[in-house]
């Protein structure tokens, strides 16, 4: 792209900042009480996760084998596990891992998937064929082998876990985005943008991606919980987080083993995950509606 096109694109983006789509979306979102509540709960959870080392009532490693599993009490609000560790502390530390995995891995998936799908769908032809075949190949690769290979080569660490999960989750995202873009680029308003002289990058950014956001947002809010559960599964197999470190997924799977004797060990971590998922879904639905300008104005 030449100099002139670049500066023109800058001007367009400046105009977009004053533009009403995002402002209108924000105004509509604020009116949706469920979505606002969902967003508030998520923010609260994240703040708690960040401040956990200072907020947590106990040390998450300290065991008290004499105490053992106790139901909720004044000292231990949510009870203790079989090793006498405070459950509230465990859930708070577990939330750090689960939220980080959920959001970072999904963000990775979102970034790669949306870009990949948008380019493949918009350019089409051979580029599209090659890009999508690559996606198919990755789809066909057994996920477990992929993760085990990564662990073997790079050693086990949490960051790698984020990347590994993200690297798998973007595939579906790319497919959704591609089909959206394919139908959008047939639209006359995209043809109108071409005839105005807009370049492909500007058309994608200004005309195509904003119109494909609805399904992407919904899929994102579904991806975050599935990523959290995936982490639990990997950790359970010994490929993810290792005790004494913990996550909601791990707490739930341990809780499930002992749910007949100590039901609170399953109920409370389960509740934490459920609240997060509900908040995400409400926020996601709200965002989708808010970004749809055809929704009612008031």
Partner 1 sequence: MALLTVDSLQVSFTTRNGTHQAVKGVSFSVEPRKLTAIIGESGSGKSVSCYAMLGLIPTPPGRIDGGTALFDGRDLLSLSEGELRAIRGRDIAMIFQDPMTCLNPFMTIGEQLIEPLLVHQKLPKKQATERAIALLDEVGIRAPETTFNAYPHEFSGGMRQRVMIAMALINEPRLLIADEPTTALDVTIQAQILKLIAELQKKRDIGVLFISHDLAVVADIADHIVVMEQGEVVEQGAPSDLFSAAKHPYTQKLLDAIPTGQRVSTLTDPKPLIEVQQLRTWFYPNAKAAPVKAVDDVSLTIHRGEILGLVGESGSGKSTLGRALLRLAPITDGQVSFDGTRVTDLEGNGLKEFRRRMQMIFQDPFASLNPRMTVYDTLAEPLLLHGICAKSELDRVIARLMDDVGLAHSFIRKYPHEFSGGQRQRIAIGRALATKPEFIVADEPVSALDVTIQAQILDLLMDLGSEYGLTMLFISHDMAVIRHIADRIVVMYNGRLVEQGSTDQVFNAPKEAYTQSLLASIPGAALQ
Contacts with partner 1 by CB under 8 A lie at 2, 4-5, 8, 11-12, 14-16, 19-21, 187-189, 191-198, 206-207, 210-211, 291, 293-294, 296
CB of 124 to partner 1, least distance (A): 13
DSSP state of 209: H
Q: What residues form DSSP beta bridges with 86? A: 80
CB of 198 to partner 1, least distance (A): 6
Cα dihedral 236/242/248/249 (nearest 10): -10
**Looking at beta carbons only, is 61 or 292 nearer to partner 1?**
292
CB of 119 to partner 1, least distance (A): 20
Contact 47, 92 (CB under 8 A): no
**Looking at beta carbons only, is 183 or 274 nearer to partner 1?**
183
CB of 197 to partner 1, least distance (A): 4
**Looking at beta carbons only, is 14 or 62 nearer to partner 1?**
14
Q: For residue 244, is the peptide bond before it cis, meaning its omega torsion is within 30 degrees of 0?
A: yes
**Looking at beta carbons only, is 27 or 30 nearer to partner 1?**
27
Contact 7, 14 (CB under 8 A): no
Q: What angle do CA 118, 123, 125 make, to 5 degrees?
A: 125
**Looking at beta carbons only, is 159 or 192 nearer to partner 1?**
192
Tokens of 109: 């998936």
CB of 199 to partner 1, least distance (A): 8
Between CA 222 and CA 209 the distance in angstroms is: 19
Q: Is the dihedral of CA 84, 59, 163, 157 positive or negative?
A: negative
CB of 122 to partner 1, least distance (A): 15
**Looking at beta carbons only, is 161 or 184 nearer to partner 1?**
184
Question: Smallest Cα–Cα separation from 81: which of 223, 253, 209?
Answer: 253
């Amino acid at each position: 792209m030449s100099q002139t096109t670049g500066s023109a694109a800058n001007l367009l983006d400046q105009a977009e900042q004053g533009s009403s789509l995002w402002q209108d979306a924000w105004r509509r979102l604020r009116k949706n009480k469920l979505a606002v509540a969902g967003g508030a709960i998520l923010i609260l959870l994240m703040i708690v996760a960040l401040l956990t080392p200072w907020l947590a009532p106990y040390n998450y490693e300290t065991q008290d084998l004499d105490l053992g599993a106790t139901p909720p009490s004044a000292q231990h609000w949510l009870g203790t596990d079989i090793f006498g560790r405070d459950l509230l502390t465990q859930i708070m530390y577990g939330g750090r891992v689960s939220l980080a995995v959920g959001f970072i891995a999904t963000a990775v998936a979102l970034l790669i998937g949306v870009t990949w799908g948008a380019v493949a769908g918009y350019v089409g032809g051979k580029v599209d064929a090659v890009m999508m075949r690559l996606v198919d190949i990755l789809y066909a690769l057994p996920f477990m082998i992929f993760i085990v290979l990564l662990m073997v080569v790079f050693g086990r660490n949490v960051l790698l876990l984020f990347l590994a999960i993200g690297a798998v989750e973007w595939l579906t995202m790319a497919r959704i985005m591609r089909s959206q873009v394919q139908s959008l680029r047939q639209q006359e308003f995209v043809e109108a943008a071409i005839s105005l002289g807009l370049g492909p990058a500007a058309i994608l950014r200004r005309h195509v991606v904003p119109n494909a956001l609805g399904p992407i947002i919904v899929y994102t809010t579904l991806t975050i919980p599935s990523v959290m559960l995936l982490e639990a599964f990997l950790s359970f197999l010994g490929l993810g987080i290792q005790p004494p470190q913990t996550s909601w997924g791990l707490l739930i799977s341990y809780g499930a083993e002992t749910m007949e004797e100590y039901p609170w060990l399953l109920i409370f971590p389960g509740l934490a995950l459920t609240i997060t998922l509900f908040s995400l879904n409400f926020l996601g639905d709200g965002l989708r509606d808010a970004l749809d300008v055809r929704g009612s104005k008031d």
